[in-house]
Amino acid sequence: MPKVKELIRVRLAPSPTGRLHIGTARIALVNWLFARQHNGTFVLRIEDTDKERSKKEYEEDLFLGLRWLGLEWDEGPALATNDKKRSAVESTCGPYRQSERTEIYEKYLNRLLDEGKAYYCYCTKEDLEAEKQAMLAQGLPPKYGGHCRNINQQPAGKEPQVIRFKTPEGKIEFKDLIRGNMAFDGSLFGDIVIAKDLKTSLYNFAATVDDEEMHISHVIRGEDHLSNTPKQILIQKALGFKEPEYGHLPLILNPDRSKMSKRFADTALSEYISRGYLPEAIVNFLALLGWHPKDEREIFSLKDLVKEFDFKRIQKAGAVFNQDKLDWLQKEYMKNLSTEEITDQLMEILKNKNVSTDKDFLKKIIEIERPRLTTLNEFYSVAGFFFRLPEYDAKLLVWRETENIEKIKNILNLSTAIIKSSKNIDRATLAASFAELINKEGRGSVLWPLRVALSGQAASPDPLEIIEALGKEESERRIKMAITKLEGNLL
Ligand code: GLU
C-alpha cells in the first residue's frame, strides 16, 4: 500500500452478519462518491472478527450487491489465481478481511500491554454483573470500576478474561463533517474491552488499527457509530496514530421516525434486486436519502452524482424511507428502457415460468401493460393471463346479483358473433362494433363478463384491447370456455 496519507482514502467496513442492508448500501454509495470526487481510493474491509455470526454467504451477498449498484472497490490484497477459498464473485483484488489480519492486531495489543496502556482483566462475568448491580443500586451509570487496572501479576486461581484499554480521563473532541463539533466525556466509558485475547481483537480496536494501517483519511459511516468514535480516538492517541476526519451519516427511518425496520420496508438490498428494481433507481433513491441537491432536480445517475453530490448538503436529521419515491424513480428509469431491452428481460422471466411465447406477441402485451408496471417482475402477475388463462370461479362472470345466467350467456354469445363478423379487431373498430350492444344492455353488463372471460380476473386492461392482442381465435376460445362454465351449472 502506498504511504500517501495526503490522498483521500475511504472505506466501507461491513460485518458479514446479515444480508447487505439498504443503509450499508447508502454508506457505500457516499464513500464511493467521495472517493471518485477526490480522485481517491475506496477500500472494502470485511469486519469478520465475530466468527460465529460472520458467514461466507453474507460476504457473497455484499459483493453482488455492491457490483449490482456499480460500486466496485479499488483495493485489496491481490488474489492468488488458484486460491479456492476465494469466492467466484471476487475480482482481481481483495477485499481486506480482519480475520486474515490477526497478527497485525496482536502486534499493537502487545505494544499497549508493554507500555502499560492496556492490561489483562481477570474479572469474571459474575464479578462484573455484581459490580454493575451495586452501581445501579447507588443510582450511578454502570461502568467497569478498574479492579484489575493495577494488577501486575496473574492472581492465583484466576484466568485472564479480556484485555482492557486504560481509558484516560478527560474530554474527547472532534469535528464531524456532518454534525459539527462533538464532545464526549471519557470518564463515562470506563476501561473498555479491546480484545478477548491476543488473537481475538474486538471491533473498536481492530477498526482503529486498520484505519491507520490502511491510511484511511475519512471515516464516513452511520450515526450508530458515533459513540465509538471517541473510543477510537483515544486508542489512536495511545498508539500515536494519525486521526482521520469523521462524518456520521444520519440513519434511515421508518415513516414513524423509528429506525428503519422490516415492519415498514424490506431492509436487505437483495430484496429490491429480486423484486425487479433497477440499480439506477436504487442508487438515485439512496443518494436522495438525507441529501438535497441545490435545485429541484431529482434524477441523478451515478455519473451525475460524481459531479453533483455535495457532502456538505447532507442533512443532520434522519432520512425517512419513502417507498412511493422509490417507485416513482423506478418508473422514471423504466421509461428509459427500450422495448427491445424489456422484451429480452421478460422473455427470460417468462421462460422461468415455463411460458413460451413469440416476441411479437410479447411486444404487443408490453405496449399495453407498460404504463401500469413499476418493475418488470410484476409483469407476470399483472399480464400473465395473456399467456395463460388462470383458473377462475364461474361466479366471477356475474357482474351484479340482478344479472341472470341466461342474459350473461346471451351477451357472451353475441360478443362472439361481433368478434367473428368484425373485419378488423383493432380497438377502435371493436368499440364501434360493440356500441350497439353496449347501448342496449349497459356497459357493465357487457364488458364485465367479457373481461372475466378473456382474463380470468376482475381487473384488467380494457377487454377490447385484450381481444385485439389475443386475436380472434384465442378470444373466441376463451369466451366459449366461459359459456361452458356457466352451462356447467357451477353457480
Ligand atoms: N463493522 C461495522 C458495522 O458493520 C462498521 C464499522 C465502521 O464503519 O467503523 O457496522
Whole-number Å distance, alpha carbon 167 to ligand 1 midpoint, is 21
Please give the CATH superfamily to which domain 269-338 belongs. Glutamyl-trna Synthetase; Domain 2 (1.10.1160.10)
Assess contact for 331 and 315: CB atoms under 8 A.
no
pTM of the model: 0.84
Q: Is residue 207 within 6 Å of ligand 1 at its C-beta?
A: yes
| Residue bearing the CA closest to ligand 1, atom 2 | 14
Q: Which amino acid makes up residue 40?
A: G
Q: Is residue 16 within 6 Å of ligand 1 at its C-beta?
A: no
Instruction: Determine the pLDDT at residue 63.
Output: 93
Residue written as cell 466468527?
51
Whole-number Å distance, alpha carbon 434 to ligand 1 midpoint, is 65
- The continuous run of DSSP H or E covering 193 comes out as strand 193-197
Q: Is residue 346 within 6 Å of ligand 1 at its C-beta?
A: no
Q: Is residue 15 within 6 Å of ligand 1 at its C-beta?
A: yes
CATH number of 102-249: 3.40.50.620
Fold equal for 102-249 and 389-488:
no
| Residue bearing the CA closest to ligand 1, atom 4 | 14
Instruction: Determine the pLDDT at residue 152.
Output: 83
Whole-number Å distance, alpha carbon 348 to ligand 1 midpoint, is 38
Of 105, 24, 108, 35, the C-alpha closest to 66 is: 24
Instruction: Determine the pLDDT at residue 15.
Output: 96
Tell me the average confidence (pLDDT) per consecutive run of 10 residues in the chain, 491 residues long. Answer: 66 96 97 95 94 93 94 75 48 82 98 97 94 92 92 91 96 95 93 97 97 97 96 98 96 91 90 93 96 92 95 90 95 92 91 90 92 90 93 92 88 97 93 96 95 95 95 97 85 54
Whole-number Å distance, alpha carbon 13 to ligand 1 midpoint, is 5
- Is the domain 389-488 a CATH 3.40.640.10 member? no
Assess contact for 122 and 71: CB atoms under 8 A.
no
Domain ranges for the chain, please list them: 102-249, 269-338, 339-382, 389-488
Q: Is residue 11 within 6 Å of ligand 1 at its C-beta?
A: no
- Is the domain 339-382 a CATH 1.10.287 member? no
Instruction: Determine the pLDDT at residue 196.
Output: 97
Residues annotated catalytic, as ranges? 262
Could you please report the per-residue DSSP string of 227-290? THHHHHHHHHHHHTPPPPEEEEEPPEE-TTSSBP-TTTS--BHHHHHHTT--HHHHHHHHHHTT
Q: Best mutation site among 50, 203, 223 for ligand 1, i.e. most ligand atoms within 8 A of its Cβ?
A: 203
Q: Is residue 231 within 6 Å of ligand 1 at its C-beta?
A: no
